[in-house]
Amino acid sequence: MFSLLYGFWQKVFERVEYRVLILGIDSVGKTTLLERIKVDYKLSASLRPSAILPTVGLNIARVEDPACRLVFWDLGGQAGLRSIWDKYYREADSILFVVDCFEEARIAESLEVLEECLSNNDLVGVPVLVFANKQDQARGGSSTEALGSRIMDRGLFENHSIHHVAGGSAFEGFGVREGVQWLIKVMKTNQIKV
């Protein structure tokens, strides 16, 4: 009888774990975003922005939200490293794609890479959050709304009914928690569970 009750208790109170893949071209602020998430969730092992180096390979962070456990995989965005991204797609419960909205040429390159990613069959149906980063600097760049329009015009979300474009600044911190909360909500709603 005890084992039956214990099993029920475990099932009711188990922590759901979701894997979030952080993607984007090089130098768009993926690791800064990850470090900001760690600060927001009060992880002591976060880096100051000045200490962040380009990612070669993978950075991993686990954070505890009241609703679930999140595992973030931050993959390097240099052209030579993008070839390994697809090795992680099947394990991803959502995609957090970071775009630098400060420079027009970087936006165009990001949209090409996003299109390539989202065309992979392993990501069909996976929720996608595009984070329009560097809004604190984007005076001459692209607004969140303009980026969203460009993405929709290209039909990039065709196989992704669950998508959102959110703006903010990984450096300043605004928009980050809201983006993470959106991901949690859609992953829970769609019961995308490890």
Per-residue pLDDT of the chain (194 residues; tens, 9 = 90+): 667 666 665 566 677 999 999 999 999 999 999 999 999 888 767 666 666 666 777 889 999 999 899 999 999 999 999 999 999 999 999 999 999 988 888 999 999 999 999 999 999 989 999 999 998 875 655 688 888 988 898 888 887 789 999 999 999 999 999 999 999 999 998 764 44
- The pLDDT score that the predictor gives to residue 192 is 44
Residue 148 CA, chain-centre distance (Å), reads: 16
DSSP states of 55-91: -SSEEEEEEE-SS-EEEEEEE--STTTGGGGGGTGGG
Known binding-site residues equal 24-31, 55, 77, 133-136
Q: Where is the binding site for GTP, in residues?
A: 24-31, 77, 133-136
Radius of gyration of the chain from its Cα atoms, rounded to whole angstroms: 17
Q: In the chain, what are the domain boundaries?
A: 18-52+64-189
pLDDT for res 13: 65
Q: 97, 24 in Cβ contact below 8 A?
A: yes
Backbone angles phi, psi at 71, to 5 degrees: -115, 120
For the domain spanning 18-52+64-189, the CATH number is: 3.40.50.300
Give me the pLDDT at residue 29, please. 93
Which residue numbers belong to the known binding site for Mg(2+)?
31, 55
Would you tell me the crossing angle of helices 104-118 and 144-153 to the nearest 10 degrees?
Answer: 40
